[in-house]
Structure 1
Amino acid sequence: MKIGILLTGHAPEELAPHYGDYIEMFKSLLSGQDFEFLGYKVVDGEFPKSIKDADGWLITGSKHGAYENHSWIPPLEDFIREAVTLNIPLVGVCFGHQIIAQALGGKVEKFDGGWAVGRQTYDFAGTEISLNAWHQDQVVELPPGATTIASNSFCEHAAVLYGDRAFTVQPHPEFSADFVDGLINTRGRGVVPEDILEQAIDHLDEPTASQTIADQFADFFRQERPR
């Protein structure tokens, strides 16, 4: 099965030599699932020639806001709507989670409650799952037909399911503790309040359920769908 990864932002230059870009992180997260991967740097204007070039698509995180005025965002939203129309499965993470919601009629904004950084715990249908997060923007209104499947007191729509069309999560299962530590020092200092950063550092060594979410992504991609 071919999975196309749509890169919507680059990892910090200081960290990329050690951890790779987000395409490589998702390849690592989904390794062992018998997938073949294609990568496209849509943030740089590189789009697939056809939506049928892959059997499923994953949209990465980004430092950009879904509501910002970038030339690559409208064609990405068109791509999302076409995938949903053709029932080609989509997975979205952080920015990917937000842009899918926005493209389908939801609302994304800079959350007035501030930042979520580092290990966060969510209620996934009665099961507690902890994952690393890095965001201020949030989905604040769901599109028609979308269902929230995970939340916590800070993030109401932490994971969303669009039937068999799309599965999106706000946190980052692809982020290791070491990478979050790197983000704190390259993008966090002077931007995110220090108390939030220090709290994140205090919990860096605690376990997360990244593999659980990776398996859920893989199962979602593999679902039988009418075409």
Structure 2
Amino acid sequence: MKIGILQTGHAPDALVETSGNYDQMFRSLLDGHGFEFETYAVLDGQFPSGADAADGWLITGSKFGVYEDHAWIPPLEDLVRAIDALGQPLIGICFGHQIIAQALGGLVEKFEGGWAVGRVEYQQDGQTLALNAWHQDQVTKRPEGARVVAGNDFCTNGILAYGDTIWTLQPHPEFSTEFVAALIEKRGRGVVPEAILDAANNGLDQPLDAAKIATFMADFLKKERA
């Protein structure tokens, strides 16, 4: 099964050598599930020929806001709508979560409650799901038909599902503890309030559910659909 990775951001140059770029993180996260991957760096104007160029799709995170004026954002929204119309499986992470919501009629804003950085717990069907997060923007209004799968008091729309073909999440299952620790130093200082960064650093030794989410993502992409 071919998965098209729509890359909307680049990892900081200082971290690429040790952690890989964002598309490589997802290749590692989903390794062992039999996928073939092709990366399309849409932020650099590299788009697939169409929604049928892959069997399933994944949109990465980004330092950009989905509401910002970038030439590649409108065609990415068009591609999201085309993938949706074709009924292909689509997963969005952080920026991907937000651009899918925006493309399908939702609203994304810079959240007045501020930043979420590091290990964050989400409630899903009475159970706790812990993943690394790094965001200030949030989906503040869900598109029609989107349902909440998981969230918390800070981020109500933490994980959204649209029918059985689109599944999106605000946190980053692909971000390792080591990467977040480095991101705090390379991208966080001077941008995110120090108290939030310090709290994130203090929680880096706590367990995460990234492996569980990776298995779910793989199963979601591969499952039989009518």
User: TM-score of the superposition, structure 1-length normalised?
Assistant: 0.98
Q: CA deviation at 1:50?
A: 2.4
Equivalent AA in structure 2 for residue 148 of structure 1: V
Q: How far does the alpha carbon of each residue in 1:128-168 deviate from its partner, in whole angstroms, 9 at most, with x for none?
A: 01000000000000000000110011100000000112000
Q: Distance in 2 between matches of 1:79 and 1:162?
A: 16
1:14 is paired with a residue of what secondary structure?
helix
Report the equivalent of 2:220. Answer: 220
Report the equivalent of 2:26. Answer: 26
Report the equivalent of 1:98. Answer: 98
Equivalent AA in structure 1 for residue 127 of structure 2: T
Q: Distance in 2 between matches of 1:106 and 1:189?
A: 31
Aligned residues: 226
Q: CA deviation at 1:219?
A: 1.2
Report the equivalent of 1:56. Answer: 56
Report the equivalent of 2:136. Answer: 136
Report the equivalent of 1:74. Answer: 74
Q: Distance in 1 between matches of 2:223 and 2:69?
A: 35
Q: Distance in 2 between matches of 1:108 and 1:40?
A: 24
2:57 is paired with a residue of what secondary structure?
strand
CA RMSD of aligned residues (A): 0.7
1:11 matched to 2:22: no
Q: CA deviation at 1:173?
A: 0.1
Matches within 5 A, 1:41-190: 41-190=41-190
Identity of aligned residues (%): 59
Instruction: Give unmatched runs, 5+ long, in structure 1.
Output: none
1:148 is paired with a residue of what secondary structure?
strand
Q: CA deviation at 1:127?
A: 1.3
2:49 is paired with a residue of what secondary structure?
coil
Q: How far does the alpha carbon of each residue in 1:12-37 deviate from its partner, in whole angstroms, 9 at most, with x for none?
A: 01101111100000000000111111
